[in-house]
Structure 1
Amino acid sequence: MASFTFTPETAQRVKIKVLRKYRELAKENLSFAPGNEDQLVDQLTHLLKRDVRYVEFTINKALADPDGNRL
């Protein structure tokens, strides 16, 4: 189970931040909706070739300041 939850607004902001950091990802690779956080973690783990802890850390960092520009 993911250690975070999304609202529609925060989901969009996190998507933008992740796409900025990982330019090799295409927008269709990050198709997710609030409530499917585990699916996003699994998807990013596979696409980025990173472990679950790293992906969750990155997303939690983006959620810490959803209106900011930093990841």
Structure 2
Amino acid sequence: MAAIRITPEEWEIVKTKFRRKYNHLSDEDLAFEPGKEDELVGRLANRVKRTRDYVLFTLKKGLADLEGNRL
């Protein structure tokens, strides 16, 4: 069971924020399929050299304020 659920619409917004913070990420790094959130978190954690928990926290923070500009 994934620790986070993201819709494709939510991901489009959060992806923009994540790319702004980590501008070295490629489209492949940020590729997302609904139901494969765990894969996304693992891939992002590896690419930004952070823990899975950090990436989860960051994604949840972005999801909590989709209207905001910050991550």
TM-score (norm 2): 0.89
Partner of 2:68: 68
CA drift at 1:67: 2.0
Report the residue type matching 1:44 in the other structure.
L
Q: Quick one: distance in 2 between partners of 1:54 and 1:2?
A: 15
What is the identity percentage for the equivalent residue pairs of Structure 1 and Structure 2? 51
Q: Which runs of 5+ in 1 are unaligned?
A: none
* Between structures 1 and 2, the one with greater helix share: 1
Q: Which runs of 4+ in 1 moved over 3 A?
A: none
CA drift at 1:3: 2.3
TM-score (norm 1): 0.89
- Aligned alpha-carbon RMSD (Å): 1.2
